[in-house]
């Protein structure tokens, strides 16, 4: 028997973060859905692009995996909660419903959010109605953020298949040949690793998902910290940030930033001053400095020299070339130390005397004829 989808269950064609794109009204039915408790059609789970603040890239394969693993849940659907569970709280009382009919539309994975009846009667009130009202009033005020497990083997294999040769000079002027990952997507300018997943756990509603305007990760805490940190380091703000995710003192960062600008012959100029200067002086090409580029440079130090040395040397304002020399010196010291330990162990092993120091009683009653056991064994064999 052929089943025809009813209008209440039919997927929407137009998509946005919530509801529809191009200014169209969100497709909401408060009495529709699997449990007749409301449905929002055409919500976006993820789209191709950078996962801001996470140093990862979502490509078309990732989007297809989102749809694949979402639909593998069958009649159960993909869980949807009101914000991610935190370190001090789980998702109890935050359940909104389930996502069904997740499909790939262009560079996006979209589906239909079916609200559960219980989502209207949570300990925090009617969360389902709140989400539907927010979608109607401001469709871009929130988005879906997926929760998944990485397929590290697949990610490593993809990275190995897309490596390129490159050369650089170390602190001694020697040319070093190496390999590095080159993303096949030209939009991935920072060559972030491409995400591969082997399990999709949920898609939660959050304030500012990071992967794209349609939603992936909750980036708002990191974004606020990065803005406060860089504003202070660049002298835009006088408010020194407290302890942050970056683990760098604000004053040290500010000093490094000043030295970095000076070493590159750069300066920060407000847009108003730049506009006035452009009225009377020839246009001068400027190097754009963004917090993304500064954080990417810090990550380059961490990837090459490790979290402890990379962060410290970056904050101290050391050039990447100088750090290569320091790193090589530390490795040489480590090799020398391990070599010395090995030689000492070999020397100790060679000096070990097998057998007993005390003579055994080979001739009872005659002390003058007692000999070490090793000599006794030799005599016995002869």
The CA radius of gyration of the chain, in Å to the nearest whole number, is 32
**Helices and strands in the chain, H and E counts:** 10, 11
State which residues form the domain around 361.
354-382
> Are 59 and 147 found together in one domain?
yes
pTM over 0.75: no
pLDDT at residue 380, as a whole number? 55
Q: Is 20 a member of any domain?
A: no
143 & 253 share domain: no
Same domain, 90 and 51: yes
Residue 137 shares a structural domain with residue 43: yes
Distance CA 236, CA 295 (A): 17
* Residue 374 belongs to some domain of the structure: yes
Task: State the CB neighbour count (10 A cutoff) for residue 105.
Answer: 17
85: its two tokens = 């569970």
Count of domains for the chain: 3
> Which residues neighbour 382 within 8 Å (Cβ) at sequence distance 6 or greater?
none
- Residues facing 325 on adjacent strands: none
Residue 203 inside a domain? The answer is yes
* Long-range Cβ contact pairs of 321-326 (< 8 A, separation 24 or more): 321/169, 321/170, 321/171, 322/171, 324/170, 324/171, 325/170, 325/171, 325/172
**364 and 305, same structural domain?**
no
Together in a domain, 214 and 246: no
Task: Give CA torsion, residues 297, 298, 304, 308, to 10 deg.
Answer: 170
* The pLDDT of residue 374: 58
Query: Is the domain of 241 the same as that of 292?
Result: yes
Do 311 and 358 fall within a single domain?
Answer: no
Same domain, yes or no: 313 and 370: no
pLDDT of residue 242: 58
pLDDT score of 187: 92
Identify whether 330 is part of a domain: no
Domain shared by 60 and 207, yes or no? yes
pLDDT attached to residue 9 = 41
Q: Which of 318, 336, 371 corresponds to the end of one domain?
A: 318
Whether 91 maps to a domain, the answer reads: yes
Tell me if 255 is assigned to some domain.
yes
Length of the chain: 382
| DSSP per-residue codes, 69-104 | HHHTTGGG-EEEEBS---TT--STT-EEEEEEEEEE
Asked if residue 11 belongs to a domain, the reply is: no
User: Measuring CA to CA, which residue among 194, 199, 170 is closest to residue 184?
Assistant: 194
Same domain, yes or no: 127 and 276: no
Is residue 17 within 8 Å of 10, Cβ to Cβ? no
Q: Angle formed by the axes of helices 291-305 and 307-315, to 10°?
A: 130
Check if the beta carbon of residue 351 is closer than 8 Å to that of residue 370: no
Q: Do the domain assignments include residue 349?
A: no
Q: Are residues 143 and 63 in the same domain?
A: yes
CA-to-CA distance for 38 and 118, rounded, in angstroms?
A: 11
Sign of the CA dihedral 215, 221, 224, 227? negative
Token pair, residue 9, equals 């269950």
For residue 325, count CB atoms less than 10 angstroms from its CB and return exposed for 0-12, middle for 13-18, buried for 19 or more.
middle
Q: In tens digits, what is the pLDDT along the chain, a chain of 382 residues? A: 333 333 334 433 333 333 333 334 568 999 999 999 999 998 889 889 988 778 899 999 999 999 999 999 999 999 999 987 754 455 678 899 999 999 998 889 999 999 999 999 998 899 999 999 988 888 777 788 888 999 999 999 999 999 999 888 877 888 888 899 999 999 999 999 999 999 999 998 887 665 434 433 333 344 445 666 677 777 777 767 654 445 666 677 777 777 777 777 777 776 666 665 555 544 444 455 666 777 788 788 888 888 788 888 888 888 888 888 888 888 888 888 888 888 888 877 766 555 555 554 555 556 666 666 556 555 555 5
């Amino acid at each position: 028997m052929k089943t025809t989808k009813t209008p209440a269950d039919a997927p929407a064609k137009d998509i946005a973060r919530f509801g529809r794109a191009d200014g169209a009204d969100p497709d909401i039915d408060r009495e529709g859905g699997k449990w007749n408790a409301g449905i929002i059609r055409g919500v976006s789970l993820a789209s191709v692009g950078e996962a801001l603040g996470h140093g990862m890239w979502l490509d078309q394969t990732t989007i297809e995996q989102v749809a694949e693993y979402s639909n593998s849940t069958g009649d159960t659907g993909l869980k949807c909660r009101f914000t991610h569970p935190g370190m001090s709280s789980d998702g109890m009382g935050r359940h909104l419903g389930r996502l069904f009919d997740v499909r790939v539309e262009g560079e996006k994975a979209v589906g239909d959010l079916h609200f559960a009846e219980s989502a209207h009667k949570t300990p925090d009130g009617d969360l389902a109605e709140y989400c539907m009202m927010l979608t109607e009033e401001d469709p871009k005020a929130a988005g879906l953020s997926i929760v998944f497990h990485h397929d590290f083997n697949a990610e490593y294999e993809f990275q190995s298949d897309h490596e390129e040769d490159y050369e650089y000079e170390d602190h001694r002027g020697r040319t070093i040949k190496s390999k590095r990952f080159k993303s096949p997507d030209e939009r991935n300018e920072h060559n972030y690793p491409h995400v591969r997943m082997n399990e999709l756990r949920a898609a939660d509603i959050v304030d500012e998902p990071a992967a794209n305007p349609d939603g992936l990760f909750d980036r708002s805490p990191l974004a606020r910290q990065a803005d406060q940190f860089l504003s202070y380091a660049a002298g835009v703000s006088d408010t020194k940030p407290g302890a942050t995710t970056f683990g760098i003192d604000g004053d040290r960062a500010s000093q490094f930033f000043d030295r970095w600008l000076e070493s590159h012959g750069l300066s920060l100029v407000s847009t108003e001053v730049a506009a006035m200067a452009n009225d009377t002086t020839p246009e001068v090409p400027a190097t754009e400095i963004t917090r993304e580029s500064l954080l990417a440079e810090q990550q380059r130090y961490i990837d090459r020299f490790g979290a402890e040395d990379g962060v410290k040397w970056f904050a101290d304002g050391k050039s990447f070339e100088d750090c290569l020399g320091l790193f090589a010196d530390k490795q040489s010291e480590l090799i020398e130390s391990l070599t010395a330990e090995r030689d000492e162990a070999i020397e100790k092993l060679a000096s070990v005397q097998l057998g007993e120091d005390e003579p055994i009683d080979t001739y009872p009653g005659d002390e003058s004829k007692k000999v070490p056991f090793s000599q006794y064994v030799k005599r016995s064999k002869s």
